[in-house]
Structure 1
């Protein structure tokens, strides 16, 4: 009997001390070709209950688009077919680089989606996953984003009214510190200790002294609210017995199933003795997990 099977989504989670993970997948009614609505399901038992067991991940190589449900030979932007990838706002370049938002130019792919998702309060934060990094999120609580990135520590530093404004600030700060997580370091162990409050105050004080932080093509000054840092840093504990002996990304295909002992979970990574698997990168792929 398989533990779970279906077209995988990224793992959901709850809690911080430690984080508890749940396997998300979808199935489709093959008989109804006109209705490709996904039937979403969540594992009843947490994924960390598999730790210490030898499990097998297998696939038939079938991929279904996360948005429209159609089968696709190749996944784009972690789970989309080419048509959705080239037409949806959620897969546009400005999602990866929010400072390039073009809504104000009238060229947004889906204006209503943009109004709902991009014109809401966003938080700029500092986190420590593989070292100090800056990031942005609309998620509430912000810690949801930190868990997905495998951050050990995090602190929100300021708030703005739109994704574009957050992206402009993130892009500016990325000149001085990384805005990406080095996954190889993240799955190796805990990151080096960094005083996030001190670093946050340093950059916030620097921002307050600069008057040039205004959105391009705009005469108005970018408005941001400095957040109270007195709440301190959030620490996150992950369900990990040990770290992999080899820092290697394991490839899952129909011809190459993965069978190994699960030793931990961090971010969206399953940690095995012989390497790691990024579940989010496999979104839309049919996967069966069995012991």
Structure 2
């Protein structure tokens, strides 16, 4: 019987037609050696099988209540920001507000929680894109290929808009565009069915013409402003993503993974980081760090 027991991370994926999913989870040497759990590095694992093969089957998904921080590995009684302990949530740059609102990046002010992490992760090329997941939205990513981000958010169609040199620059432009269209996916609509038809090519051309008439600046370490230079993506190809879905849930309700309440339901599909069951859905990313048991009945 195929089974996954370990500390949940997320669902890794590859391909687009359709997307193939594998279970990503962590184990720890201290527990494997029957030692007392302590702050330690995780041993990352990928399931040998694809979760796609379980679609149409009744599954059991449960947790024993144990949570280990996805950042430092220590046991924590509560998960913050999808898997961090409170200390890592409060001190790690990857958990700072600017990750959700990149236009608020404060690295240039000398107040970044982890300057070296910021230089490695934020000062690299980022793509501003349009996607259709629950409707037209704008987003940014450093992912390469960009489609990795599109799959994670459950987009059915997407197109790159432009490229800039840093996360902060991308965030400033995204923040401007969010005044015209959403920058978030409505998950209830995303898991309920295909989004409405939108001419992404037309929207891209329209907004690029608009942006060419605008100028964007950001403050530098010196206190002076620098103009943001962006490069439009000349690709006119709209990327289509197909997800492994037999049917959509009968009820759009969110399952909660609780120690006393295992989930037992028929898996009907996978979209983004959501498992779609006949009677509800669960966002796997929300339970990063939880020790889980996942198997077919």
The RMSD of aligned alpha carbons is 1.1
Q: Deviations over 1:156-204 (max 9, x none)?
A: 0100000000000000000000000000000001000101011011111
Report the counterpart of residue 268 of structure 2 in structure 1.
263
Secondary structure in structure 1 of the residue aligned to 2:144:
coil
Give the deviation of 1:220 after TM superposition. Answer: 1.5
Give CA deviations for 1:91-123 in whole Å, capped at 9, x if unaligned. 000000000000000001111111100000000
Unaligned residue ranges in structure 1 (runs of 5+): none
* Equivalent position SS for 2:258: coil
Whether the 8 Å CA contact 1:268–1:278 is kept in 2: the answer is yes
- Report the alpha carbon displacement of residue 2 of structure 1 after superposing the two structures with TM: 5.8
Please, what TM-score do these two structures have when normalized by structure 1?
0.97
Distance 1:101 1:283 in 2: 25
Distance in 2 (alpha carbons) for counterparts of 1:233 and 1:218: 39
1:133-148 aligned at under 5 Å gives the runs 133-148=137-152
Moved more, 28-37 or 86-95: 28-37
> SS of the residue aligned with 2:120?
helix
Structure 1 residue 287 corresponds to structure 2 residue 287: no
Aligned counterpart in structure 2 of residue 96 of structure 1, from 68, 93, 100: 100
Aligned to 1:176: 180
Q: Is 1:105 aligned to residue 115 of structure 2? A: no
> What do the CA deviations read for 1:73-92 (whole angstroms, capped 9, x no partner)?
11111000000001001000
How far did 1:229 drift? Answer: 2.9
Count how many residue pairs are aligned between Structure 1 and Structure 2.
289
In the TM superposition, residue 33 of structure 1 has moved relative to its aligned partner by: 4.9
1:86–1:206 Cα change, 3 Å:
same
Is 1:197–1:229's contact at 8 Å kept on the other side of the alignment?
no
1:199 matches 2:210: no
Cα offsets for 1:114-148 (capped at 9, x unmatched): 11000000000000000000000000000000000
Cα distance change of structure 1 residues 206 and 58 upon mapping to structure 2, 3 Å threshold: same
Please list, as runs of the form range in 1=range in 2, the aligned pairs for 1:1-291 lying within 5 A after superposition: 3-28=3-28, 29-30=30-31, 31=35, 33=37, 36-211=40-215, 213-216=216-219, 218-230=224-236, 232-291=237-296
TM-superposition CA deviations, 1:32-91 (whole Å, max 9, x none):
655612111111010011101000101101110001001111111100000000100100
In structure 2, what is the Cα distance between the partners aligned to 1:39 and 1:16?
28
| Alpha carbons 2:38, 2:75 under 8 Å: kept | no
> Which segment drifts farther, 32-41 or 86-95?
32-41
- Unpaired stretches in structure 2, ≥5 consecutive residues: none
